[in-house]
Amino acid sequence: MTPMQRVLTTLGHEEPDRVPYFLLLTLHGAKELGLSIEEYFSNGQNVFEGQKRLREKYGHDCYYSFFYAPIEVEAFGAKVIYSEDGPPNSATPFLKKEMIPTLQAPDAKTAPILQKVYEATRLLKAHAKDEVPIIGVVMSPFSLPVMQMGFEAYLDLIYNEPKLFDQLMDVNMKFCIDFANAQLEAGATAITYFDPISSPTIIPKEIYLKTGFKIAQQSIAQIKGATATHFASGNVLPIMDILPQTGTAVVGVSTFEDLGELKKAAKQKLSLLGNLNAIEMRKWSVEETKAYVKEAIRKGGKGGGFILAENHGEVPYFVQEETLLAIKEAVEEYGNYPLQD
């Protein structure tokens, strides 16, 4: 099977030739090309070449056209801080609540900073054709304000400023939908809708139902392609029963919840992505890595509906090559269908 066939089969809750696995690698592309992280993310050609080399080395079942989370607030005019050994981060929040009534979304199709995302996506599409899925990313309208405003100010908005909250969501939804659809037009196969603030780890379910849940329903309905919702290592089990109502097809799951319980809760209405510990794996031996992969496949793989990945949505810079190769070897050893007990 091609990676595309393998992924589509498992998303149909059938068993392909083996368990598909996504290594959601970003920063490792800079290592492969011998570039600083800032230089690597300076254009789409670099990211295309990095993604191509990474998949040639590790054999995983996708390309990942994600650059870095604050590229979206960069499109709004915010600053980004680069690190030598970690992902770029947003600088001082640019948005004060008194600015919200006049805030306008940048044009996602023409925003200069986003052109490199589309360039990388187009190059990956031309290279992969339809054999390898290309996974694009947007921050959910509900989670983006953490970078726009800062955590404390945004939580105050959620709880105490409903009118301003609604106005900000209108702006962010327009941007999110347009950015997602522009990536799909450039060649992305599916969009990951990153929504960590909606996790019960951060927001109570009753608040989520009034806010992030409704926003996800409205946003995902207007994205012209398949979506996966990722909570960036946050818990999801308390809201698994309602996530299918958002329109998403896949949910990224936390290492802090039992994969077997998550699989039962999904009830073939959702496919699971996860749930290797992205932080701990930087210290894993080859033997430990293979054991964790084997256990995840045992709990999640039966009957399809499962893509092995780490739990956060981005493999940390310090995860070593030997660990990533051990994941590949373990999938090849333990992930072939029919699975062995």
* 246-272 residue pLDDT tens: 999 999 999 999 999 999 999 999 999
275 assigned to some structural domain = yes
Predicted pLDDT of residue 33: 98
User: Residue ranges of the alpha helices (H) in the chain?
Assistant: 3-11, 28-33, 37-40, 44-58, 71-75, 115-128, 145-149, 151-160, 162-186, 205-210, 212-221, 259-266, 286-300, 321-334
The residues, ordered by sequence, that sit 6+ positions from 12 with a Cβ below 8 Å of its Cβ are 304
Phi and psi at 306, nearest 5°, equal -145, 130
Of the candidates 295, 227, 284, 304, the residue with the CA atom closest to the CA atom of residue 259 = 295
Single-letter amino acid, residue 82: Y
Residue 25 lies in a domain: yes
In a domain? residue 318 = yes
Whether residue 340 is contained in a domain is answered as no
Query: Vertex 146, ends 187 and 50: CA angle to 5°?
Result: 35
Q: Which domain holds residue 138?
A: 3-334
11 assigned to some structural domain? yes
> Does some domain include residue 46?
yes
| Alpha carbon distance 270, 267 (integer Å) | 7
Above 90 in pLDDT, residue 341? no
Number of domains in the chain: 1
Amino acid 340: pLDDT: 86
Residue 13 belongs to domain with CATH number = 3.20.20.210
In a domain, 217, yes or no: yes
> What is the pLDDT, as a whole number, of residue 214?
98
- Distance in angstroms (rounded) separating the CA atoms of residues 125 and 130: 8
List pLDDT tens digits, range 166-223. 999 999 999 999 999 999 999 999 999 999 999 999 999 999 999 999 999 999 999 9
With 90 as the cut, is the pLDDT of residue 105 above it? yes
Compute the distance between CA of residue 220 and CA of residue 250 in angstroms, rounded to an integer.
Answer: 12
Establish if 12 belongs to a structural domain: yes
Output the pTM of the full model. 0.97
pLDDT tens for 110-152 read 999 999 999 999 999 999 999 999 999 999 999 999 999 999 9
Each residue's pLDDT tens digit, 291-316? 999 999 999 999 999 999 999 999 99
